[in-house]
Chain A
Amino acid sequence: MDTHDRTAQHIKDSLDTKNLAECLTPTGRFSYCALCATSLSCLYKDHVHNEFKLDCLRILCNHLKLMLQLRTMQEMASCELPLDAKVYVRSLKKEEVLKDGLMIIVQDLLLLAISNGLKVGTYDARWRVLILYVTRIFDLDLNIVDNFELQVVNCLSNFLPAQTEQEQADAARRNNISKTKRFAMIGLASVGGGILIGLTGGLAAPLIGSGLASVLGSSAIFGAIGTIGGSAVIGSLFGVAGASLTGYKMHKRVGDIEEFQFHKLSTDTETGDVHLHITIVISGWLSDERESSYIQPWEYLRDSPEQYYLRYESSYLLELGKAMDYFLSFAVSVAVQESLKYTVLSGLMAAIAWPAGILGLSSVIDNPWGVCCRRSAQVGKQLADTLLTHSHGNRPVTLIGYSLGARVIYYCLREMSQREKCHGIVQNAILIGTPCTRNSSEWNKITQVVAGRVVNAYCRSDWLLKFLYRTLSMQANGVAGLEAVQSSNDRIENIDLTSIVSGHFDYPQKLSEILMFIGINVDESAKLKHQIISTQSMPEGMCEKLNINNHFDNMKKSKSEIDLAIMSKNNEGQ
């Protein structure tokens, strides 16, 4: 193995390369910092994030030698009306060091975030969202963030320094030291400086080495993060190696959950098995007993290199799936479905207007649906417990779910919002066709927990969901899976899927198309299949898209109103 040589080379390189903060002009340093501050003000308006913003700015100012500017940056980060970020981008583009592109800033920011993550033991989702946001402002491909994270992790986990017997003994001893003690030692290193490196082995290095953030390639990684003890450290601090979700066992049950397990969705061994961001997907119901019925809908999803699916309450989900199948194929003819779709679209239908044939069969589906609804709420709470204890590692997680799976996510986030230290864990939450309330104050609570996007994807022609909620008192607030969530804060992205799906049954089959529409990474082959160009977008970009949707909405609405008018006319005639 030439690992050692390579490592030596890396370290040599990192000494040759320079610190980005030193290469930038004062204007550049200021622009870099102010850009981040402005981004923070756009991303995190809620006061619960103030502490994070301050931490974040302190790290940035320290890194860029702008400590005197901290108060100013703080003010910029709390502006109600964010300042124009484009000015800073223009100014950064003039920098000599950045003439090859602004990617270096993204790298630098990422290294800063990761070295801070190693220091405090958590890679905060809000850091990651900030990096993605800045990347988007720079007009760069968001995938470079993923790629760069991979590079960092690979670099760190492959790096195993030559160990002498003494060092091995030290390492063994170190492993026995509790986590808190280890942090204390890292903290000490900042006081004692170089002398302590010898005492703590490589562990003190993250702090001392963080000043060496360099400009070039993989050597920069060592420059920024230091010569730490490889996979052991990254594993213990990020929890990526030790805490595997697939091995998760329920220690404490919430309610009477019978099944709650994580399984790997994709076994993509090419990119290694430790990553700094994971995705958990949750299905709504099962069409058959096979494992594949969990996996199939998510086949093309490529949101992160490490993806899991949640296996929960299979027997009940299967029962529901069967009931839905029966309901759809035997009870409700295509013609009826079609008319239902448009009647639902009009939004005028009262409970009494349901065709008698469907009402007669309601018992088939009402019972399993009720059971699954209750259980999915409990599963959501269990999931919240799992995430809050960082069983998935101290890294950002994205949650995606449809139907009851989205309900699991909704209850998970709601539970999290009521607990302490709930921020900075969930990066994005994508809820598709959610059977839950549309109450805006409830949704506002869950947006606090999520660092990045909160998506409510709904379908206005989802007659099944409307039918299932026909007797419930939720009519006043409405159902999130049927309509947009009206909210005073702009954190919730409402995405209308009516043009893609015609009802609840379509969600599993059309999932990759939906994900693409929402702006989630999917496999290239799926893109070709649907002939749609994916637009990866964050809240702002979404607005344009939504406007287009609204336009379509109006068109559709007017059409259905005409249909209704014709129908009522016919009735009169009869």
Chain B
Amino acid sequence: MDPSVLTTLKILLIGQSGVGKSCLLYRFTDDTFNVDNAVTIGVDFKMRKITVDNNNIKLALWDTAGQERFRTLTPNYYRDGQGAVLVYDVSNRDSFTCLETWINELNMYSTKPNIIKMVVGNKIDQERRVSREEGIAFARRHQTLFIETSAKTKEGVHMAFEELVRKIINTPSLWEKPEDVNVVRCNNENSAPEQSYCSC
């Protein structure tokens, strides 16, 4: 394995059909945007390297299908996920209201109890049906991160994934392997002062 890579994280993309999960993924991995993206069949997989706080991290991104007919299959992929991106469409109220069921499903099937969740309101380039405040309130209630994005205009996409990864990295119990405890310790010591400056 590449020694410069700190770890590989498994990130899930979850949410109702048509909210733009695949568009977010393609924007993030290939920097492309396609309005008439085909419906995801089952699950899609992408890999991307990202650097957060001087740590090189590999992301294994699992983009699950939102369509009802795949509902029985997708929870299979929640296992061992370290981060989950729960996506809704700000121009579609339904997609926001059913987020509750998605989050419940995630909690039920994820094997890591402290999995980092992030609620993402996508399509902010379109006419709003869900306000930013509602989104924040929902995220607060479920103790998740929150961000609004637009896969079309690129806004917030990279930041969303970066934030999520940063949060995961700061929760070593999620990704630390027993054998490389020492390595991680050193790393934490190095990065701790930096962070204290940041948070000031």
List chain A positions with a Cβ less than 8 A from chain B. 25-27, 29-31, 34, 66, 68-69, 71-72, 75-76, 81, 83-84, 87-88, 90-91
> Which B residues, 44 to 94, have Cβ-Cβ distances below 8 Å to chain A?
44-46, 60, 69-70, 72-73, 75-77, 79-80
Assess whether B42 is interfacial by the CB under 8 Å rule.
yes
Show the binding face of B for A, using Cβ within 8 Å: 38-39, 41-46, 60, 69-70, 72-73, 75-77, 79-80
Q: Evaluate whether A83 and B79 lie within 8 angstroms (CB atoms) in the complex, with A27-B70, A30-B73, A90-B72 already known.
A: yes
- Closest Cβ–Cβ distance, residue A42 to chain B (whole Å): 14
Residues of A near B45 (CB, < 8 A) are: 71-72, 75-76
Contact yes or no, B42 A34, CB < 8 A: yes
Say which residue of A66, A69, A87 sits within 8 Å of B73 (CB atoms).
Answer: A87
Ordered by A's residue number, 26 sampled pairs between the chains whose C-beta atoms are within 8 Å are A25-B69, A26-B39, A26-B41, A27-B41, A27-B69, A27-B73, A29-B41, A30-B41, A30-B42, A30-B73, A31-B73, A34-B42, A66-B41, A68-B38, A68-B41, A68-B44, A69-B41, A72-B43, A72-B44, A75-B60, A81-B79, A81-B80, A83-B79, A87-B75, A88-B73, A91-B73
How would you classify the secondary structure of chain B's contact residues: helix, strand, loop or mixed? mixed
Closest to A88 in B: B73
Given the known interface contacts A88-B73, A90-B72, A91-B73, the answer about A27 and B42 at a Cβ–Cβ threshold of 8 Å is yes
| B62 smallest CB distance to A (angstroms) | 8
Q: Please indicate the chain B residues that have their CB under 8 angstroms from the CB of A27 in the complex.
A: 41-42, 69-70, 73
Q: How far is the CA of A525 from the CA of B85 in the complex (A)?
A: 61
A30, A68, A69: the one within 8 Å of B70 (CB): A30
A66 and B44 alpha carbons, distance in the complex (Å): 11
Contacts A25-B69, A27-B69, A30-B70 given; indicate if A84 touches B76 (C-beta within 8 A): yes
* Main DSSP-derived SS at the A contact region: helix
Contact B77 A83 (CB under 8 A): yes
Q: How far is B41's CA from A494's CA once the two chains are assembled, in angstroms?
A: 41
Inter-chain CA distance A34–B72, complex, in Å, is 13
Nearest B residue to A73, CB-CB: B45
Q: With A75-B60, A83-B77, A83-B79 as given contacts, are A91 and B43 in contact (CB-CB < 8 Å)?
A: no
Nearest B residue to A76 by beta-carbon distance? Answer: B45
Once the chains bind, are B72 and A91 in contact (CB under 8 Å)?
A: yes
Q: Which residue of A lies closest to B65 (CB)?
A: A30
Cα distance A83–B111 in the bound complex, in angstroms: 13
Report B-chain residues with C-beta under 8 Å of the C-beta of A30: 41-43, 70, 73
Q: Which residues of B contact A25 (CB under 8 A)?
A: 69
Asked if A87 and B76 sit within 8 Å, CB to CB, the answer is: yes
Q: Are A87 and B41 CB-contacts (below 8 A) given A75-B60, A81-B80?
A: no
Give A84's nearest chain B residue, CB to CB.
B76
Contacts of B60 in A (CB 8 A): 75
Whether A34 contacts B73 in the complex (CB less than 8 A), given A69-B41, A69-B44, A72-B45, comes out as yes
Known: A34-B73, A71-B46. 13 other contacts (CB 8 A): A25-B69, A30-B43, A31-B42, A34-B42, A34-B43, A68-B38, A69-B44, A72-B43, A72-B44, A83-B76, A83-B77, A87-B76, A90-B72
- Number of interchain pairs (Cβ within 8 Å): 51
Considering only CB atoms, which chain B residue lies closest to A71 in the complex? B45
| Complex Cα–Cα for A50 and B15 (A) | 33
| B-chain residues with CB within 8 Å of residue A81 when the two chains form the complex | 79-80
Q: How far is the CA of A25 from the CA of B69 in the complex (A)?
A: 10
Q: Chain A residues with Cβ under 8 A from B70's Cβ?
A: 27, 30
* Complex Cα gap A68–B34 (Å): 15
A120 to B44, CA, bound (A): 30
Q: Which residue of B lies closest to A38 (CB)?
A: B76
Look across to chain A and name the residue whose beta carbon is closest to the beta carbon of B77. Answer: A83
In the bound complex, CA of A521 to CA of B43 (Å): 39
Q: For the complex, what is the distance from the CA of A121 to the CA of B188, rounded to whole Å?
A: 56
Distance to closest chain B CB from A396 (angstroms): 31
Give the docked Cα–Cα distance between A34 and B80 (Å): 18
CA distance A81 to B60 in the complex (A): 15
Q: Which single residue of chain A is at the shortest CB-CB distance from B68?
A: A27
Output the least CB separation between B24 and chain A (Å). Answer: 17
The answer for the CA separation of A508 and B44 in the assembled complex, in Å, is: 54
CB pair B79–A87 under 8 Å, yes or no, is no
A76 to B43, CA, bound (A): 10
User: Which has the most chain A C-beta neighbours within 10 Å: B38, B41, B44, B60?
Assistant: B41
Q: How far is the CB of B177 from chain A (nearest CB, A)?
A: 12
For A84, the chain B residues whose CB sits under 8 A away are 76
Nearest-Cβ distance from residue A24 to partner chain B, whole angstroms: 11
Going nearest first, the 10 A-B pairs with the smallest beta carbon separation are A30-B42, A72-B45, A75-B45, A26-B41, A27-B69, A87-B76, A30-B41, A83-B76, A84-B76, A72-B44
Instruction: List the A side residues contacting B43 at CB < 8 Å.
Output: 30, 34, 72
- Of B39, B42, B79, the contact of A69 (CB 8 Å cutoff): B42
Smallest CB separation, A533 vs chain B (Å): 34
Q: Give the chain B neighbours of A66 by CB distance below 8 A.
A: 41
A511 and B186 alpha carbons, distance in the complex (Å): 60
Query: For A71, what are the chain B residues with a Cβ–Cβ distance below 8 Å?
Result: 45-46
| Chain A neighbourhood of B42, CB < 8 A | 26-27, 30-31, 34, 69, 72
CB proximity of B77 to chain A, nearest CB, Å: 7
- Within the assembled complex, what's the spacing in Å between the Cα atoms of A76 and B44? 11
Bound form: Cα–Cα A88–B43 in Å = 13
For residue A83, which residue of chain B has the nearest CB?
Answer: B76
Q: Hey, which chain B residues are within 8 Å of A26, CB to CB?
A: 39, 41-42, 69
B39 closest partner in A (C-beta): A26
Closest A residue to B70 by CB, please name it.
Answer: A27
Docked pose: A27 CA to B74 CA in angstroms: 11
Q: Is the CB of B69 within 8 A of A87?
A: no
**A68–B40 alpha-carbon span in the complex (Å):** 10
Task: For the complex, give the distance between the alpha carbons of A453 and B41 in Å.
Answer: 34
Chain A residue with minimal CB distance to B75? Answer: A87
Instruction: Give chain A residues whose Cβ lies under 8 Å from the Cβ of B69.
Output: 25-27
Closest A residue to B45 by beta carbon equals: A72
For the complex, what is the distance from the CA of A31 to the CA of B73, rounded to whole Å? 8
- B76 contact set on A, CB distance < 8 A: 83-84, 87
